[in-house]
């Protein structure tokens, strides 16, 4: 039942269950606001507690247990009311999806790892770790070109966010350690992917551009997220290894929609 549709008596009962004082509430609207705030705080606590339990299990290499707790955290992340937002939940959700992805990958379940990472990219396209996790899963599936595209997209986002055109420097005292770690991990994986392509060859690069994006990324929402994150001036650099010039013009138009 929606909070707004509850009678005042039920609102008070729910507040009492949450041990929230409502003596200062005069109107029903006051009860509604207070209950929404209390329910949101409860969900935030559930998300953080489940995430902490999952991370603990992951650290002990109990990946199946970690995934169960990550699922609990993601369930608590779901917003019940459109007008209720939480910075805590919005910050935690992409991290949880990416942690769930690497948990699946440690269990050699690359397809499930990719699905979780794709959800992060689709819903939080500026969270660069999603591209890292998706690239790792694609590489594990033998799709090195797809992995390279995802890595180059994540690196380009970091470059854009740091207003840098080439290599990223984290030598400044105020550098973001999380961004630095993500960049280093993406560059390390990128070197490994290029090495695999060099040793094994890569038939994927012979695919036509649209077919490559649709079949290798395998998620239209992810493809759209990648295109929207890439400005027109860097689109050629990132996709130039995979797309013919006429395909690139079409994708440039799509990225501006």
- Distance of alpha carbon 212 from alpha carbon 248, whole angstroms: 13
CA separation for the pair 162, 60 (Å, rounded): 35
Q: What are the backbone angles phi and psi of residue 231, rounded to the nearest 5°?
A: -70, 160
- d(Cα 54, Cα 215) in Å, to the nearest integer? 32
Cβ neighbourhood burial of 145 (10 Å; 0-12, 13-18, 19+): buried
pLDDT in tens, the chain (257 residues): 578 788 888 888 888 888 888 889 888 888 888 888 888 899 999 999 999 999 999 999 999 999 999 999 999 998 655 556 788 999 999 999 999 999 999 999 999 999 999 999 999 998 999 999 999 999 999 999 899 999 999 998 888 876 655 555 555 555 677 788 888 899 999 999 999 888 775 444 434 344 444 444 555 556 565 555 554 444 444 455 444 333 433 443 344 44
CB 105 within 8 A of CB 138: no
Chain position carrying tokens 């009678």: 7
**How many C-alpha atoms does 72 have within 13 Å on its Cβ side?**
17
Over its C-alpha atoms, the chain yields an Rg (Å, rounded) of 22
Q: For the chain, give every domain's residue range.
A: 1-107, 113-257
CB neighbourhood size of 160 (10 A): 15
Number of H helices, E strands in the chain: 12, 0
Contact 173, 230 (CB under 8 A): no
Structure tokens at 89: 């939940």
């Amino acid at each position: 039942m929606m909070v707004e549709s509850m009678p005042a008596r039920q609102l008070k009962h729910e507040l009492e269950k949450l041990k929230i004082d409502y003596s200062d509430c005069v109107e029903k609207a006051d009860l509604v606001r207070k209950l929404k705030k209390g329910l949101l705080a409860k969900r935030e606590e559930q998300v953080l507690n489940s995430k902490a339990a999952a991370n603990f299990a992951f650290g002990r290499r109990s990946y199946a247990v970690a995934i169960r707790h990550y699922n609990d955290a993601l369930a608590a992340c779901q917003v019940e009311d459109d007008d209720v937002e939480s910075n805590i939940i919005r910050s935690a959700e992409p991290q949880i999806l990416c942690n769930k992805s690497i948990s699946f990958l440690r269990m050699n379940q690359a397809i499930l790892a990719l699905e979780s990472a794709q959800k992060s990219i689709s819903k939080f396209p500026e969270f660069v770790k999603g591209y890292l996790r998706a690239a790792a899963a694609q590489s594990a599936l033998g799709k090195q070109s797809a992995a390279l595209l995802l890595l180059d997209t994540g690196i380009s986002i970091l470059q854009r966010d740091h207003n840098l055109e080439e290599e990223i420097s984290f030598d400044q005292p105020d550098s973001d350690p999380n961004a630095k770690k993500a960049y280093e991990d993406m560059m390390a994986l990128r070197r490994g992917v290029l090495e695999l392509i060099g040793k094994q060859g890569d038939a994927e690069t012979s695919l036509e551009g649209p077919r490559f994006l649709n079949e290798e990324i395998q998620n239209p929402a992810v493809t759209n997220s990648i295109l929207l994150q890439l400005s027109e001036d860097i689109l050629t650099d990132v996709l130039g290894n995979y797309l013919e010039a006429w395909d690139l013009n079409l994708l440039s138009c799509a990225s501006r929609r």
